[in-house]
Chain A
Amino acid sequence: MVKEITINPVTRIEGHAKVTIFLDDDGSVKDARFQINFFRGFEKFCEGRPYYEMPSITSRACGICPVSHLIASAKACDALVSVTIPEAAVRLRRLMHMGQIIQSHTLSFFYLSFPDLLFGMDADIEKRNIFGLIESDPEIAKNGIKLRKFGQEIIERLAGKRIHSSDWIVPGGVRWPLTKEKGERIAADLPEAKNITISTLEKFRNMLQRFDEEIEHLGNFPSNYMGLITPDGELEHYDGLLKIIDYQGEVIADSLDPTKYKEFIAEAVEPWSYMKFPYYKPLGYPGGSYRVGPLARLNIAKRCGTPLADEEIKEFRKFGKNGIVESSFLYHYARLIEILFCLERAEEILSEPETYADRVWAKAEVSRSEGIGVAEAPRGTLIHHYKVDENGLITWVNLIIATGHNNVAFNRAVTEVAKKYVNAKKLTEGMLNRVEAVIRAYDPCLSCASHSFGSRGIDFELYDADGRLIDRNSR
Chain B
Amino acid sequence: MNKVRVATIWLSGCSGCHMSFLDQDEFLMELAKLVQFVYSPLIDVKEFPENVDITIVEGAVGNEEQLELIEVARKRTKQLIALGDCAVHGNVTSLRNALREGDQAVLKRAYLELADTTPQIPSEVTPLLKKAHPLHEIVEVDHFIPGCPPPASLITYVLTELLAGRKPEMEGKAKFG
Contact = CB atoms under 8 A, between A and B. Distances in A.
Interface of A: 7-9, 11-16, 35-46, 57, 60-64, 66, 107, 111-112, 125, 128-131, 134-135, 138, 141-142, 145-146, 148-149, 152, 162-164, 266-274, 276, 279, 281, 285, 398, 433, 436, 447, 452-459, 474-475
Interface stretch (B7-15, B159-167, B168-176): B7-15
Interface string B123-165: 1111010001000000000000000110010000000000000
A45 B43 contact: no
A39 B12 CA distance: 8
Contacts of B69: 456-457
Contact of B20 (A9, A163, A457, A458): A163
Contacts of B132: 40
A54 B113 CA distance: 21
A66 B18 CA distance: 13
Contact of A60 (B14, B18, B41, B114): B14
Contact of A9 (B17, B18, B46, B111): B46
Contact of B15 (A62, A128, A281, A459): A62
A233 to B, nearest CB: 30
Nearest to A130: B42
A274 B13 contact: no
Interface residues of B, number: 66
Contact of B63 (A37, A149, A267): A37
Contacts of A42: 92
Contacts of B43: 11-12, 125, 128-129, 131
Contact of B122 (A63, A269, A454): A269
A453 B15 contact: yes
Contact of A285 (B63, B117, B125, B128): B117
A68 to B, nearest CB: 13
A60 B120 contact: no
Contacts of A40: 12, 62, 92-93, 96, 106, 132
A107 B25 CA distance: 12
B46 A475 contact: yes
B1 interface: no
Given A40-B92, A456-B69, 5 more contacts: A12-B42, A39-B106, A40-B96, A44-B96, A269-B120
Contacts of B44: 11-12, 125, 128-129, 433, 436, 475
Contact of B125 (A163, A272, A474): A272
A66 B109 contact: no
B48 A37 contact: no
A128 B15 CA distance: 21
Closest 8 CB pairs of A and B: A63-B16, A41-B106, A266-B116, A457-B46, A268-B117, A44-B109, A456-B65, A45-B95
B109 A41 contact: yes
Contacts of A39: 106-107, 110, 128
B46 A44 contact: no
A12 B42 CA distance: 5
Contacts of B22: 107, 111, 148
B114 A458 contact: no
Contacts of A270: 118, 122
B10 A453 contact: yes
Given A45-B95, A268-B118, A60 B148 contact: yes
Interface string B94-107: 01101100010111
A420 to B, nearest CB: 20
A119 to B, nearest CB: 12
Nearest to A45: B95
A45 B23 contact: no
Contacts of A63: 13-20, 149
Nearest to B69: A456
A37 B125 contact: yes
Given A270-B118, A454-B12, A457-B47, A134 B96 contact: no
Contacts of A57: 92, 95
A131 B122 contact: no
A162 B23 contact: yes
Contacts of A61: 14
Nearest to B98: A45
A44 B93 CA distance: 12
Given A43-B106, A267-B115, A457 B11 contact: no
A128 B42 CA distance: 10
Contacts of A15: 10, 15, 41
A60 B91 contact: yes
